[in-house]
Chains A and B, each alone.
Chain A
Amino acid sequence: MSQEIASSGWGRFRASSADFLHRKGVMGFLFTLPADIILLLLLAYPFVLGIWLSFTNTIIGRSGSFVGLSNYISLFHSNIFWLTAFNTVFYTCVAVFFKLILGFGLAIILNQDFKGKGLIRAIVLLPWIVPTALSAIAFWWIFDSNFSCINWLLLKIGLLKTPIDFLGNTINARLSVVLVNIWRGIPFFTIGLMAGLQTINQSLYEAADIDGATPWVKFKSITLPLIMPLLSVITTFSIIWTFADFQLIWILTRGGPDNATHIFGTLSFQRAIAGGHLGEGAAISAFIFPVLFISVLITSKYLKREN
């Protein structure tokens, strides 16, 4: 008798727990739980910790205390911080602009039918595949004040009288790091946009040919509007990566000369890790977040409207 009650109780428990599990929210939550935990540990925790640190005066080896907004206030009064902000915006705007124009142009060229296009497409991808640290070191040599191969060549053919100081002069250094970033980032645009171009139905261009469209009209009225959603996503990604760049500049200039190439990533690293001021470093890196958040917001708004 008692056994019967127990077994029916167990049966009821099993039935009700199965019901519970089969509810839409519950099952979905359980399936995403492992991913949620990973995200919490690796993204949310460091992010929140960074924000917290920015409100403290922590330095390496000593846990600090809460200091409110004082890190932010002192940054606002720092010339280097404002120079860095300018550098970051300059670096991002110029580099992304040229990556977009050149990458798109290359995508359109490589999308044509010609002999050996497979090989050329593979070669275009190279700057993207090579680890940034390695390509940055290669460029460090190319731009070296004594051993630069560009200088050597230009001097040899007589186009230069004195060598160019690529990384030692503020303007040259800024342009040099932007150039390397462009070189590295073009393939991302090219490959991404080429994939997009290939999804555009060829018969649209044929219909436009019959309608009497010139190549420019076809680009403006068909290619551009149809590639726009993809283009905006790719551009957003590029903005994020360029804005939050670090390794390329750190290897080439370490933010110099005279802080002319410091961007948020490098300045934050210099203050927090090299200088030991974790609180101040965290406050600098916190400035990266709102800009990226806004650019993602704009893109997703645009995509929603398009679709």
Chain B
Amino acid sequence: MAEVALHHVGKKYGDVQAVEDFTLTIQHGEFMVFVGPSGCGKTTTLRMIAGLEEITSGEILIDGRKVNHLPPKDRDIAMVFQNYALYPHMTVFDNMAFGLKLKKMPRDEIEQRVRQTAGMLGILDFLKRKPRELSGGQRQRVALGRAIVRTPKVYLFDEPLSNLDAKLRVQMRLELKKLHEKMNTTSIYVTHDQIEAMTMGDRIVVMKDGRIQQVGHPLEIYMHPRNRFVAGFIGSPTMNFIEGARIEKENGALFSVTKGMKLPIPKTHFEALAPYAGREIVLGVRPEDLSEGDDPNAPGAVKAYVEVVQPVGNQIYIDVKVGDRNLLAAISPQSAVKVKEEILLKARLENLHFFDPESEKALV
């Protein structure tokens, strides 16, 4: 069992609070992703777990053992760095064997382990080369190999794919996921790319300004973001936020109303939103929850004026004007939508999001 637990962990650089009150338990074998914009404290948190950064408050436990003041080598972790951090003057073999040699492992066992790992990663042919003779993707594999060969209790990944080109990144994402399924070792993965987070994580931690915003399964976070920041950060393209939408009560039903749009609120949300009747809220609509409609009288129908059309293959992104606001909709690629024409959109009402304008917390 290698469970990683953080209790009220904090990190201060002078007066700057980089990480605050970080409490989280990562289960054995779980693939946990820390995601957030740059400067949100995700890498700092990872480095504190690695022991490369002292913690200012709280405690970190790996496998039930408090590691607050333990040096990195005694934490039984392996880390893959953003820039790979391969020793440039050593061959691939020596890079992978370095840690094992320091552990005083017998030569033939090192040889066998390195070869086995290199075989698994498809880098057997490069063992005698130096890092500068490898492509970005190959270096990435060597960095992975150096971590895997040590069979640690926990893997720490610091944006390992961010230096690869888009195509290779998708491929490596898949391979990393397969590797994890195979090895089933507790992994913590830091990224600023929400798609990487969504596709790879068993669970995701969304961070902002050194604080956890939400922890949950990828779809749970996507479907039920706890606040406006999470709603805007997770999902691509970004959610539309309609500020100043009013909740109105008519004949026992609730509507969210803004200029050019009157959307009935599903009954399941009545209880939560009834206190906001007559008040302004922030309405959130994901672009993919706006589709092309045919009945102007159907609930959720919205008339819009098309300003920009961007086909991306599997969808068409259209930038439309509703009332005096611009919204983005992701509609079917079969649509015959044209610029400067009216279009009838239909909002998926059960997927609407409502946020408090002050606290920015989700209301349902």
Contacts and interface: CB of A to CB of B under 8 A. Distances in A.
Interface of A: 201, 203-204, 206-213, 217, 221-222, 225-226
14 contacts: A204-B87, A206-B81, A207-B79, A207-B146, A209-B52, A209-B73, A210-B51, A210-B99, A211-B99, A212-B99, A213-B73, A213-B98, A217-B102, A226-B88
B81 A203 contact: yes
B267 interface: no
A204 B72 CA distance: 14
A269 to B, nearest CB: 44
B342 to A, nearest CB: 55
Main secondary structure of the interface of A (DSSP, over half): helix
B182 interface: no
Contacts of A203: 81-83, 85
B89 A210 contact: no
B50 interface: yes
Interface string B14-55: 000000000000000000000000000000000000111000
Given A206-B81, A209-B71, A221 B88 contact: no
Nearest to A224: B89
A209 B78 CA distance: 10
A201 B72 contact: no
Contacts of B71: 209
A222 B71 CA distance: 19
Interface of B: 50-52, 71-73, 77-79, 81-83, 85, 87-89, 98-99, 102-103, 146, 150
B52 A226 contact: no
B216 to A, nearest CB: 30
Contacts, number: 53
A113 to B, nearest CB: 13
B78 A210 contact: yes
Given A203-B81, A217-B102, A210 B72 contact: yes
Contacts of A204: 85, 87
A221 B102 CA distance: 11
Contacts of B81: 203, 206-207
Nearest to A213: B102
Q: What 7 A-B pairs come out closest when comparing CB atoms?
A: A212-B73, A211-B99, A203-B85, A207-B85, A225-B89, A212-B102, A210-B72
Contacts of B89: 225-226
A222 B98 CA distance: 11
A307 B52 CA distance: 32
Contacts of B77: 210
A210 B98 contact: no
B140 to A, nearest CB: 14
A201 B83 contact: yes
A208 B101 CA distance: 12
A226 B52 CA distance: 22
Contacts of B150: 211
B85 A206 contact: yes
A222 B78 CA distance: 19
A226 to B, nearest CB: 6
Contacts of B87: 204, 207, 221-222
Contacts of B78: 210
